[in-house]
């Protein structure tokens, strides 16, 4: 099965900083990659699908890129409300594996 | 408005069984695949199982294959997860999610609030 590896596992950044989270697939998955945000005590929320398509209603400071095995989620200007854990998920085939998650905090 | 409401969670002894339900509303239930995703305490998300809109295609994580069964009842707009031979490592909050399309392998764009399952003696 394809493994999904996220890095870093956690990060601390200042408000206004540009934040980048990486997700790497052990084999190519084309652009079948989604990103989710889970705020503390809340349910996951879809941010991006198709590696780079922003889900309706998601702020434009979030963006995704990549194809094949290497993907990136970028927050262009970190806001206090972005404190959360972020997960990638591959969905080219089953199993629909999630990455281990990245916890984002404010410095 | 899409709503997903899970029920059926609780405390069960190792080796026991539990049946989860997810009542869906606000969309044409039969037109969309559905998934179950779980999250153990303090851990990340783990995909468990998915089912096509028509119910004829199902997928399972290796960790639950042969023990869990996903199904859906279009007449009741309800998704189910029958969990047998439960283990301590199945302890988690179980989320029901609506997939973006009828195709099983797609991202989930709506999630329920989750129902907790604890497997312990």
DSSP states of B26-54: SS-GGGS-EEEEEE-TT--EEEEEEE-TT
Which residue of chain B comes nearest to A32, CA vs CA? B106
Alpha-carbon distances, residue B68 vs A94, B17, B64 (angstroms): 16, 9, 6
- When CB atoms are compared, the residue of A87, A94, A101 closest to B50 is A94
| Per-residue pLDDT reduced to its tens digit, B7-50 | 999 999 999 999 999 999 999 999 999 999 999 999 999 999 99
pLDDT band, residue A98 (cuts 50/70/90):
very high
pLDDT score of B103:
80
Question: What average pLDDT score do residues B91-96 get?
Answer: 98
Interface of B with A (CB under 8 A): 35, 37, 44-47, 50, 59-62, 95, 97, 100, 104-109, 111-114
Spell A45-68 as b/e; 16+ CB within 10 A means b.
Answer: bbbbbbbbebbeebeeebbbebee
B29, B74 contact by CB (below 8 A):
yes
**How does pLDDT run across A6-50, given as a tens digit for each residue?**
999 999 999 999 999 999 999 999 999 999 999 999 999 999 999
CA distance linking residue A7 with residue A20, whole number of Å: 9
SS3 A80: helix
pLDDT at position A1 is: 93
Residue B104 has pLDDT above 90, yes or no: no
Percent of chain A with pLDDT over 70: 100
């Amino acid at each position: 099965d394809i493994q999904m590896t996220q890095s870093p596992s956690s990060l601390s950044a200042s408000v206004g900083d540009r934040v980048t989270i990486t997700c790497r697939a052990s084999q190519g998955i084309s652009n079948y990659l989604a990103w989710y945000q889970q705020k503390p005590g809340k349910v996951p929320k879809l941010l991006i699908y198709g590696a780079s398509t922003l889900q309706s209603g998601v702020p434009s400071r979030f963006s995704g890129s990549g194809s094949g095995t290497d993907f990136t989620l970028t927050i262009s200007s970190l806001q206090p409300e972005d404190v959360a854990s972020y997960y990638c998920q591959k969905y080219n085939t089953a199993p629909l594996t999630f990455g281990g998650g990245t916890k984002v905090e404010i410095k | 408005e899409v709503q997903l409401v899970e029920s059926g969670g609780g405390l069960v002894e190792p080796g026991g069984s539990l049946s989860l339900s997810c009542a869906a509303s606000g969309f044409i239930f039969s037109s969309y695949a559905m998934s179950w995703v779980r999250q153990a305490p303090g851990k990340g998300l783990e995909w468990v199982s998915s089912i096509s809109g028509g119910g004829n295609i199902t997928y399972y994580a290796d960790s639950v294959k042969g023990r869990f069964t996903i199904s859906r009842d279009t007449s009741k707009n309800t998704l189910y997860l029958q969990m047998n031979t439960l283990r301590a490592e199945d302890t988690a909050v179980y989320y029901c999610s609506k997939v973006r399309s009828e195709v099983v392998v797609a991202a989930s764009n709506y999630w329920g609030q989750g129902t907790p399952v604890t497997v312990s003696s």
